[in-house]
Amino acid sequence: MPLNREEMIMLGRGAPRRPKGKGVGSFIVLCVLLVILGAGGYLLYSYFSEDIHNWFTSTFTQEETPSDSVPLGGTPATGDTSADGGTIQDIEEGPTEELFPIEKPGEGAQAVTSPETTQIIAKWKEVDALEKAGNNAKLEELLLEIKQEYAGTAHEGLAIYRLGWLRQRQGQEEEALELWKQAYEKFGSSWGGRLSALVLADIWYERYCSEQAPVYENWEVVRNAYSTAIGMDKAKLISPADKARIIQRLNKLNARLVFSTAPCKDAEYYTVRENDNLANIAKRFEVHYDCIIAINRLPGNYIRPGQNLKIIRFSSVLTKAVIDKSAMTLTLYHNGKWLKQYPICHGGDKTIPGNYTITIKAPNPQWTDPATNQVYDSNNPKNILGSRWIGFNGTGPSTGIGIHGTTLPESIPGTTSNGCIRMHNKDVEEVYGILIVGSEARILE
Residue 247 in contact with residue 341, Cβ under 8 Å?
yes
Segments of the chain with pLDDT less than 50? 1-22, 42-113, 396-398
d(CA 228, CA 194): 6
Classify residue 162 by burial, with Cβ atoms within 10 Å: 0-12, 13-18, 19+. buried
Q: Is the pTM of this model over 0.85?
A: no
d(CA 29, CA 405): 97
d(CA 287, CA 203): 36
Residue 424 in contact with residue 412, Cβ under 8 Å?
yes
pLDDT in tens, 295-326: 999 988 889 999 999 999 998 888 999 999 99
d(CA 196, CA 75): 14
Query: Alpha carbon of 240 to those of 227, 327, 343: distances in Å?
Result: 16, 11, 17
β-strand pairing of 421-422 with 402-404: parallel
In terms of residues, how long is the chain? 445
Q: CA gyration radius for the chain?
A: 36
d(CA 361, CA 397): 10
- What was the pLDDT predicted at 38? 57
Q: Torsion-angle region of residue 386: left (phi > 0), alpha (psi -120 to 50) or beta?
A: left
Classify residue 290 by burial, with Cβ atoms within 10 Å: 0-12, 13-18, 19+. buried
Query: Alpha carbon of 267 to those of 16, 217, 280, 312, 370: distances in Å?
Result: 92, 13, 18, 5, 42
The candidate with the shortest Cα–Cα distance to 203, out of 317, 328, 95, 75, is 75
Q: In a 3-state reduction of DSSP, which class is residue 319?
A: strand
**Helices 425-434 & 289-296, crossing angle to 10 degrees?**
110
d(CA 193, CA 19): 97
- What was the pLDDT predicted at 212? 80
Residue 427 in contact with residue 436, Cβ under 8 Å?
no
The pair phi, psi for residue 265, each rounded to 5°, is -60, -40
- What was the pLDDT predicted at 322? 95
How many other CB atoms are found less than 10 A from the CB of residue 207?
18
Omega prior to 16 cis, within 30 of 0? no
- What was the pLDDT predicted at 36? 61
Sign of CA dihedral 79, 86, 213, 228: positive
Residue 443 in contact with residue 357, Cβ under 8 Å?
no
Q: Mark out the alpha helices in 286-392 (DSSP H runs).
A: 289-296
The pair phi, psi for residue 333, each rounded to 5°, is -130, 145
- What was the pLDDT predicted at 10? 33
Sign of CA dihedral 319, 224, 247, 69: negative
323, amino acid identity: I
- Give the domains, in start order, of the chain with CATH numbers: 116-257 (1.25.40.10), 267-312 (3.10.350.10), 319-444 (2.40.440.10)
Helix H or strand E encompassing 422: strand 421-422
250, amino acid identity: L
d(CA 308, CA 291): 15
